[in-house]
Amino acid sequence: MLFAACTGDVVTHETAAPQPGTAPAPAPAPTSTASATPQVVLFRNVRVFDGVSGSVSGAQDVLVRGNRIERIATGLETESGAHVIDGGGRVLMPGLIDAHWHSMMAAPSLGAILTGDQRYLTVIAGAESTRTLMRGFTSVRDVGGNSFGLKQAVDEGVLPGPRIYGSGAMISVTSGHGDFRQAANLPRTMGAPGPTDLEGDTAIADSPDEVRMRVREQLMRGAAQIKLTAGGGVSSPHSPLDAITFTPAELRAAVEAANNWGTYVTVHAYTSQAVREAIDAGVKVIEHGSLMDEDTARLIARHGVWLSIQPFPVELGNAFPPGSVERAKFDEVFTGNNHAYDLAKKHGLKTAWGTDVLFSAELAAQQGAILASLTRWYTPAETLVMATGTNGELLQLSGKRNPYPGEVGVVKEGALADLLLVDGDPTVDISLITRPEQSFKVIMKDGVVYKDTLGNP
pLDDT attached to residue 316:
77
- 457 belongs to a structural domain: no
> How far is the C-alpha of 214 from the C-alpha of 208, rounded, in Å?
10
230/368 same-domain check: yes
- 379 belongs to a structural domain: yes
72/108 same-domain check: no
218/335 same-domain check: yes
236/261 same-domain check: yes
Distance, CA of 192 to chain centre:
31
Domain with residue 358: its CATH number is 3.20.20.140
Number of domains in the chain: 2
Interaxial angle between packed helices 248-260 and 272-280, expressed in degrees from 0 to 180 and rounded to the nearest 10: 50
- 280 belongs to a structural domain: yes
> How far is the C-alpha of 303 from the C-alpha of 322, rounded, in Å?
39
57/204 same-domain check: no
Residue 225, domain extent: 96-401
- 329 belongs to a structural domain: yes
Geometric angle at alpha carbon 226, from 225 and 229, rounded to 5°: 140
101/67 same-domain check: no
157/285 same-domain check: yes
Give me the average pLDDT of each 10-residue run along the chain (457 residues): 33 36 44 54 98 97 97 95 96 98 90 85 95 98 97 97 98 91 82 79 95 97 98 87 96 98 98 98 98 98 98 82 88 93 98 93 95 97 98 97 97 98 98 98 97 84
253/282 same-domain check: yes
56/142 same-domain check: no
313/412 same-domain check: no
88/102 same-domain check: no
Cβ(424)–Cβ(432) under 8 Å?
Answer: yes
368-to-137, 310, 336, 432 alpha-carbon distances in Å: 9, 13, 22, 9
pTM above 0.85, yes or no: yes
3-state secondary structure of 417: coil
- 186 belongs to a structural domain: yes
272/341 same-domain check: yes
Q: Residues near 435 by Cβ (< 8 Å), separated by ≥ 6? A: 4, 6, 368
- 5 belongs to a structural domain: no
- 28 belongs to a structural domain: no
- 6 belongs to a structural domain: no
Domain with residue 64: its CATH number is 2.30.40.10
Query: 3-state secondary structure string, 273-321?
Result: HHHHHHHHCCCCEEEEEEECCHHHHHHHHHHCCEEEECCCCHHHHHHCC
